[in-house]
Structure 1
Amino acid sequence: MKYVSTRGAANLGQFSEVLLMGLAPDGGLAMPEHLPTFSPQELEDLRRLKYADLAFAVMRPFITDIPEADLRRLLHETYRPEVFHSPDITPVTPLGNSGLFLLELSNGPSLAFKDMAMQFLGQVFEYVLEQRDEYLNILGATSGDTGSAAEYAMLNKPRVNVFMLSPHGRMSAFQQAQMFSLQEPNIFNIAVEGVFDDCQDLVKAVNADAGFKATYRIGAVNSINWARVLAQAVYYFRAYFALDLPAGAEVDFCVPSGNFGNVFAGYLAKKMGLPVGQLVVASNENDVLHEFFSTGAYQVRPGERVAKTSSPSMDIGKASNFERYLYLIAGESGEQVAGWWQAVGRGEVVNLGGTPHWNAVQASGFVAGRSTHADRLRTIAHVDRQYGRLIDPHTADGVLVGQHFQRPGVPMVCLETALPAKFEETVLEAAGRRPERPERFRDIEQQGRHGVVLPNDVQALKTYIREQLEQKI
């Protein structure tokens, strides 16, 4: 399988090349040159597979440059019950008889769904770099959970350094402590004076400097990395099979969304033949995606217009993975996507309403809703009172919006994004009690902090990276 860019560049190489690449040379995102599909009978053959074997079946068509035995080993080393604290890896739990289900994705090392892909990235990065006798310096941005998931996945990986940007003062105390308490020689935490989108723009600006990127071997673990999207598609298949429905029966999924990577993985599963009906995008007050799927108009929000909310991992005004979706909507036209993104970069509104492309959007199965702080509090309290289950505020956004789009007789699977312990102040406000947390994180907020605060300036970031790497030589 070879890969191309969403903006038109061809011949990006095979999986291992795009794994280490980050952004494509033209600024686009890597996409496979075609999407393989499963027939109904092939889907049935996947139904009883254990998680690691299912992951192999789903991912293998996209990863053809790693020997079969090695890829199987990497996936079995990744998806182990002792890592994800469940023999099912991603259990599906009904909320009473409501027709709503929680897809539990937050039982891994950092207590967030990002672990599902990031643990695989840790394994496959190490494998590919050892095969090539190379080193990689990962530059990433996090609105909350990507950072800790990436850092936990890259611990004790001597061929990888991690430079992780986060918005200064905009994550929960638990999220901050998870990252900044780490004192490892290959982990560098950088708090940026700005919002998440500023962090994301800095990552893209560094990637756009081809000379710097090549000299300092800059790679990516954000959801712009194709390997993350691919790994996330697996749990949609697993959730579908866990419901044990008749062959061909549809399932709807509701996904709390900020950067669009998680829900795009569901769209990838659907394009591969999984009987997914609706893909419901749940936004918080930062409702760029809700606006698009409701009206056809896509307009990014500048940093000063990104609200600080009680579901902070979704405080995003520019959804990076949305470009992959538009690439498919545009019939895989890199020229069309490049034109749209040039307009977005100029701050213009890209409006597909009333165009043939809008017909493709409506046919894709996406719908969207939004939630507010008051909605989150009511939903957390209701789920706790009705079902005896505490959920985090992002998952509450998903449950609220998922309820709105439920269809009679069709299961609505709401993706859990994090354990409530990561947002205990909001959960306490909503439910009147603190969520339990794993023993290993009991006093994490009291541990020392290690990291720096930098201005929202690409030259300051480059200087910091250069200085840290030169000290390690």
Structure 2
Amino acid sequence: MKYVSTRGATDLGRFSDVLLMGLAPDGGLAMPERIPAFSPQELENLRGLSYPELAYAVMRPYIDDVPEADLRRLLQSTYTEAAFHSKDITPLTRLGQSNLYLLELSNGPSLAFKDIAMQFLGHMFEYVLEGRDERLNILGATSGDTGSAAEYAMLGKPRVNVFMLSPHGRMSAFQQAQMFSLQEPNIFNIAIEGVFDDCQDLVKEVNADAEFKARYEIGAVNSINWARVLAQAVYYFKAYFALGLPAGAEADFCVPSGNFGNVFAGYLAKRMGLPIGQLVVASNENDVLNEFFATGVYHVRPAAQVAQTSSPSMDIGKASNFERYVYLIAGSDGVQTKGWWDEVGASRPVDLRGSPHWDAVKASGFVGGRSSHADRLNTIRRIDREFGRLIDPHTADGVLIGERYARSGVPMVCLETALPAKFEETVQEAVSRTPERPERFVGIEQRERRSVVMPNDVTALKAYIEEQLAKRLRD
């Protein structure tokens, strides 16, 4: 399988190449040249597979440059009960006798869904870098959960350094403590004076400097990395089979979404033949995605207009993975996608209304909805009261919007994004008690922290990376 860019560049190499690449040289995102689809019978043959076996079946068509035995071994090493505290890895739980289900994705090392893909990336980075005798300096941006998931996945990986940007003062206290309390010499936490989109833009600016990127071996772990999206597609298959539906019967999925990577993984699964009906995008007050699916106009919001909310991991005004979606909507037309993203880069709206592309959007099964602070408090309180299940604010956004679009006789699977312990203040406000946390995280807020605060300035960021890498070499 060869890979291309959403903006037209061809032959980016094979999986191992795009794994280490991050952004494509033309600024686009890596995509496979085609999306293979399972036949109905092939889908049926996947029922009953263990998580590592299912991951192999789903991912193998896209990872054909790694020997079969090695890929199977990497997946077996990644998806273990010890790492995810469940033999099912991603358990599916029905809420009472309702038609609503929670897909539990937050039992991994950092208590967030990002662990499912990030643990795989950690193993795969190590494997590819050792094979090539290379090193990688990961530059990432996080609105809360990607950072800790990436850092926990890269612990003890001597060939990898992690430089993680986060918006200063905009994560929960638990999220900050998870990242900033790590003392490993290969982990560098940088709090940027701005919002998540500023962090994301800095990552893209550094990647756009081809000479700097090559000299300092810059890679990515954000969902701009294709491997992240691919690994996340697996749990859609796992959830679907766990429902026990007859062959070909549809299931709907609702996904709290800010950067569009998690829900795009569902769209990838759908394009691969999984019988997904609706893909419901749940937004918070920063509802750029909801606005698009309601109106056909995609209008990113500048940093100053990104609201600080009680579901902070979704405080995003520009969704990176949305580019992959519109690329497929455009029939894999890189020229068209580049034209749209030139408009986005110029802060102009992309208006698909009345075009064949808008017809393709409507046919793709996406719908959206918006939640508010009061909505998520009420939802946390109600789900706790009715089902004895405590959920985090982002998952509450998903449950609320998922219920809104639920169809009679069709299961609605809501993707859990994090354990409520990561957002104690909001959960406390909703149910007047503090959510339990795993013992290993008790008192984490009091641990010594290691981070730097930096202005939103790419020159300062590059200088910091240079300085720290030079120091690492001296040490």
> For this structure pair, what is the TM-score category when the shorter chain's length is used for normalisation?
over 0.9
**Which SS does the other structure have where 2:166 is aligned?**
strand
Paired residue type of 1:424: E
Question: How far is 1:225 from its partner?
Answer: 0.1
The residue correspondences of 1:42-441 to structure 2 (distance < 5 A) are 42-441=42-441
Question: 1 CA distance for matches of 2:77 and 2:252?
Answer: 30
Aligned residue for 2:165, secondary structure, equals strand
How much has 1:388 moved relative to structure 2? 0.2
Q: How many residues align?
A: 473
Partner SS for 1:111: coil
Aligned counterparts of 1:433 and 1:409: Cα–Cα separation in 2:
35
Q: CA separation in 2, counterparts of 1:471 and 1:373?
A: 44
Identity %: 79
| Residue deviations 1:20-73 (CA, integer Å, cap 9, x gap) | 000000000000000011000000000110000000000000000000000000
Distance (whole Å) between structure 2 residues aligned to residue 341 and residue 60 of structure 1:
31
Matches of 1:3 and 1:450 in 2, distance apart? Answer: 38
Partners of 2:344 and 2:160 in 1: how far apart?
A: 33
Using the TM superposition, give the Cα deviation of residue 357 of structure 1 relative to its aligned residue in structure 2, in angstroms: 0.3
Q: 2:462 aligns to what? A: 462
Return 5+ residue gaps in structure 1 as ranges.
none
Paired residue type of 1:232? Q
- 1:367 counterpart SS class: strand
**RMSD over aligned Cα atoms:** 0.3
DSSP-derived class of the 2:253 partner: strand
Please report how far the alpha carbon of residue 353 of structure 1 lies from its aligned counterpart in structure 2 after TM superposition: 1.0
What secondary structure does 2:425 align onto? helix
Amino acid at match of 2:401: V
Q: Which amino acid aligns with 1:372?
A: S
Letter in 2 for 1:164: M
SS at match of 1:66: coil
CA distance in 2, matches of 1:89, 1:469: 36
1:354 CA displacement:
1.1
Matches of 2:90 and 2:345, distance apart in 1: 38
* Paired amino acid for 1:284: N
| Structure 2 CA distance for aligned equivalents of residues 160 and 347 of structure 1 | 35
* Displacement after TM superposition at 1:290 (Å): 0.2
SS at structure 2 position matched to 1:326: helix
Task: Give 1:257 shift.
Answer: 0.2
Aligned pair 1:40/2:43, yes or no?
no
Task: Give the counterpart letter for 1:23 in structure 2.
Answer: L
Distance 2:271 2:160 in 1: 33
The separation in 2 between residues aligned to 1:414 and 1:472, in whole angstroms, is: 43
- Paired amino acid for 1:112: A
* 1:450 alignment partner, SS class: coil
Distance, in Å, in 2 between the alignment partners of 1:290 and 1:449 is 37
Q: Structure 1 CA distance, aligned partners of 2:97 and 2:224? A: 37
CA distance in 1, matches of 2:382, 2:354: 39
CA distance in 1, matches of 2:264, 2:372: 23
Q: Does 1:30 align with 2:30?
A: yes
Q: Deviations over 1:296-344 (max 9, x none)?
A: 0001100000000000000000000000000000000000000000011
Whether 1:20 aligns to 2:8 is no
Separation in structure 1 between the aligned mates of residue 359 and residue 209 of structure 2, nearest angstrom? 37
TM-score, normalised to structure 1's length?
A: 1.00
Gaps in structure 2 of 5+ consecutive residues? none
TM-superposition CA deviations, 1:79-108 (whole Å, max 9, x none): 001100001000000011120000000000
1:432 Cα offset (Å): 1.2
Counterparts of 1:226 and 1:124, CA distance in 2:
13
Q: Measure, in 2, the Cα distance between the counterparts of 1:207 and 1:201.
A: 10
Q: What SS does the aligned partner of 2:45 have? A: helix
Tell me, in whole angstroms, the C-alpha distance in 1 between the residues paired with 2:246 and 2:347. Answer: 47
- Alignment TM-score, normalising by the size of structure 2: 0.99
Give the match's secondary structure for 1:46: coil
